[in-house]
A and B are shown apart, each in its own frame.
Chain A
Amino acid sequence: MDLLLHLAIVIAIYAIFALSLNVEVGYTGLFNFGHVAFFAIGAYTSALLTLAGAPFSLGLLAGLAAAGLCGYLLSIPALKLQGDYFGIATLGFGEILRMIVNNEVWLTKGPMGLPGIPRPDLFGVVFDTLPAYLALSGVFALVTFAILAFVVLSPFGRALKAVRDDETAAEILGKNAFRFKIKSFVIGSVFAGLAGVLWAHYTTFIGPGDFTLTETILVLLIVVMGGKGTFLGPVVGAVALIFFQESVRFLRLPPEWTRLLGPLQQMVFGLLLVVLMVFRPEGIIREKGGRRGD
């Protein structure tokens, strides 16, 4: 039972993380390979503040603000780059941030990580049991889903898709594509920060090892597999992939097999991705009017 609750909590957090990336990758066509950086910024900001005695609500808001602000500051130079080059710039940012976390020991305690992050305390309720934490992250996931669905259904969301489809054509109609991309990036960063905050207060320990490129790849996989540019795609993808990833850990296998499990899991991910790209490149859920495999 605890295992199921744990799975559900991780799925809710990753659903938020994937939904945030979907705004950028799915709706705006921005391939962000450093998305984990904003997850980390949210996690560290809230963890450091609450460890210093600040209430959870302040840590949460500061985590969102810090992620959004960093997203804004990164997006201005990075979005001047096109396509692949933008991807490389974000990849670089993700790695730089991890290096900072690893090396600025005075602030982040470096590789030692931050233990003992308090469980959230909101309106006098402490979310220190698994069911309570599930309720909290579930509510945040629903709110994220609702807000982002509202955003992408609005004229603003339509403009994002237009920018994704044809940037020049969007500019021709009087849209400033650059500004729309910045907004999309900031929205994505803020919600990645939210996922990070929830993650930090759930595991109660964070370290640089939690925020590697592997996490970005996992969340990209969730979005692409689930169906980018759709509401439900990232949620379905999070359920499928997290369930798969976490459940493998609890298989009862002979001890001599367990050392193979880690690499095997990566291989199965790779295989899944190849199979999906061949047979269903648009993901589990298909975007209406989306181009196949594009």
Chain B
Amino acid sequence: MLRLEATDIYAGYGKIEVLHGASIRAAAGEIICIIGPNGSGKSTLLKTVFGLIKPTRGTVSFDGRDISRLDPEQKVPLGIAFIPQGRNVFPSLTVRENLEMGGTVLGSEKAVRLAIEEAVETYPLLKRKIRDRAGNLSGGEKQILSLARADMIKPGLILMDEPSIGLSPKMIDEVYLKIQEINRRGTTFAIVEQNARKALSIAHRGYVLDLGQTRLEDTGAGLLDNEEVKKLYLGG
């Protein structure tokens, strides 16, 4: 049984259809990476999997259960987290309050407290800044915070849109190290990335999306070596 299976997805915004039959799947413990040119529907695909957009056709299933029509607030308790593109921390809340927001589906206050304690152990950077307003963090720190916040509920699947956007090369490495660390604990990742080389280098498998359809599917290394992919997306 696959952790995530999105089959033949058609979706879009209002009358504009962006995805015309895209499919991805990920086994438990896998990191998959979705690359493709701008406008190919990568972000739309993630939003559809998470439920921010409902597919007009096709199914999304999670651990064998059909979740195509569920809203995000119903998917989060199942263990699906989404980290959208760019800064999405709550600037006027402290780092701790941001983490608390991430743990709301845990139910009890005690569970939230324990999860925060665990998070500051895993992310020492956050420990030093726990009382700071998230708005005052650097771009990289915000990305780490949003990762830690998604990780609060120990989700089975994390959907991540452009984790490297606007970050320095050093910070990108740090974020990807954290992704691999969380993945080793068994969390599946589906990452959409412009920085294709970096993402493919850690992905178990990759997909190339073009014009709303899945064009290619291979291992991460396989796509990195693929002549066509090199020419089109990796820049030689």
Q: How far is the CB of B89 from chain A (nearest CB, A)?
A: 7
Known: A170-B101, A173-B104. A291 touches B76 (CB 8 A): no
Sample of 9 more A-B contacts, CB < 8 Å, known A165-B92, A169-B88, A174-B73 = A161-B92, A166-B88, A170-B101, A171-B72, A173-B102, A174-B72, A229-B92, A288-B92, A289-B136
Quick check: is A1 within 8 A (CB to CB) of the other chain?
no
State whether B90 touches A161 (Cβ < 8 A): yes
Quick check: is A92 within 8 A (CB to CB) of the other chain?
no
Note all chain B residues with C-beta closer than 8 A to A175: 73, 101, 104
Q: Out of A159, A169, A174, A291, which one reaches B92, CB within 8 Å?
A: A291
Quick check: is B133 within 8 A (CB to CB) of the other chain?
yes
State whether B73 touches A165 (Cβ < 8 A): no
A sample of 17 inter-chain contacts (CB < 8 A) reads A158-B100, A158-B101, A161-B90, A165-B92, A168-B52, A172-B76, A172-B81, A172-B83, A172-B84, A174-B72, A174-B77, A174-B104, A175-B73, A288-B92, A289-B135, A291-B91, A291-B92
Q: How far is the CB of B231 from chain A (nearest CB, A)?
A: 36
| Distance between Cα atoms of A165 and B142 in the complex (Å) | 14
State whether A172 touches B72 (Cβ < 8 A): yes
Chain A residues engaging chain B, CB cutoff 8 angstroms: 155, 158-159, 161-162, 164-166, 168-176, 229, 287-291
0/1 interface trace, chain B 70-100, chain A, CB 8 Å (1 if under):
0111011100011110001111111001001
Note all chain A residues with C-beta closer than 8 A to B88: 166, 168-169, 172
Known: A158-B101, A173-B102. A289 touches B133 (CB 8 A): yes
Q: In residues 40-88 of chain B, which contact A (Cβ within 8 Å)?
A: 50, 52, 71-73, 75-77, 81-84, 88
Q: Out of B76, B83, B84, B101, which one reaches A159, CB within 8 Å?
A: B101
Q: Out of B84, B97, B100, B105, which one reaches A174, CB within 8 Å?
A: B105
Quick check: is B149 within 8 A (CB to CB) of the other chain?
yes
| Distance between Cα atoms of A173 and B89 in the complex (Å) | 11
Chain B residues engaging chain A, CB cutoff 8 angstroms: 50, 52, 71-73, 75-77, 81-84, 88-94, 97, 100-102, 104-105, 133, 135-136, 149
State whether A162 touches B101 (Cβ < 8 A): yes
| Distance between Cα atoms of A288 and B91 in the complex (Å) | 11
| Distance between Cα atoms of A278 and B139 in the complex (Å) | 29
State whether B149 touches A287 (Cβ < 8 A): no
Note all chain A residues with C-beta closer than 8 A to B76: 172-174
| Distance between Cα atoms of A164 and B97 in the complex (Å) | 14
Note all chain B residues with C-beta closer than 8 A to A287: 92
Known: A159-B104, A289-B133, A291-B135. A171 touches B52 (CB 8 A): yes
| Distance between Cα atoms of A175 and B93 in the complex (Å) | 16
Q: How far is the CB of B108 from chain A (nearest CB, A)?
A: 12
| Distance between Cα atoms of A232 and B84 in the complex (Å) | 35
| Distance between Cα atoms of A289 and B102 in the complex (Å) | 19
Note all chain A residues with C-beta closer than 8 A to B101: 158-159, 162, 170, 173, 175
| Distance between Cα atoms of A172 and B73 in the complex (Å) | 7
> Which residue of the partner chain B has the closest CB to A163?
B90
State whether B93 touches A289 (Cβ < 8 A): yes
Note all chain B residues with C-beta closer than 8 A to A289: 91-94, 133, 135-136
State whether B72 touches A169 (Cβ < 8 A): no
Q: Out of A176, A288, A290, which one reaches B73, CB within 8 Å?
A: A176
Known: A158-B97, A162-B101, A291-B135. A172 touches B82 (CB 8 A): yes
> Which residue of the partner chain A has the closest CB to B91?
A165
Known: A155-B100, A175-B104, A290-B92. A169 touches B84 (CB 8 A): yes
| Distance between Cα atoms of A189 and B160 in the complex (Å) | 39
> Which residue of the partner chain A has the closest CB to B132?
A289
State whether A173 touches B149 (Cβ < 8 A): yes
Which of B72, B81, B92 has most chain A Cβ within 10 Å? B92
| Distance between Cα atoms of A159 and B93 in the complex (Å) | 10
State whether B90 touches A169 (Cβ < 8 A): yes
Q: How far is the CB of B110 from chain A (nearest CB, A)?
A: 14
Q: Out of B73, B89, B105, which one reaches A171, CB within 8 Å?
A: B73
Note all chain B residues with C-beta closer than 8 A to A166: 88-91
| Distance between Cα atoms of A159 and B97 in the complex (Å) | 10
State whether B52 touches A158 (Cβ < 8 A): no
Nearest 4 Cβ contacts at the A-B interface: A174-B76, A289-B133, A165-B90, A169-B88
| Distance between Cα atoms of A161 and B71 in the complex (Å) | 22
Note all chain A residues with C-beta closer than 8 A to B136: 289
Note all chain B residues with C-beta closer than 8 A to A229: 92
Note all chain B residues with C-beta closer than 8 A to A288: 92, 133
Note all chain B residues with C-beta closer than 8 A to A290: 92
Q: How far is the CB of B107 from chain A (nearest CB, A)?
A: 12
Known: A159-B101, A174-B73, A291-B135. A169 touches B91 (CB 8 A): no
Q: How far is the CB of A287 from chain B (nearest CB, A)?
A: 7
| Distance between Cα atoms of A170 and B52 in the complex (Å) | 12
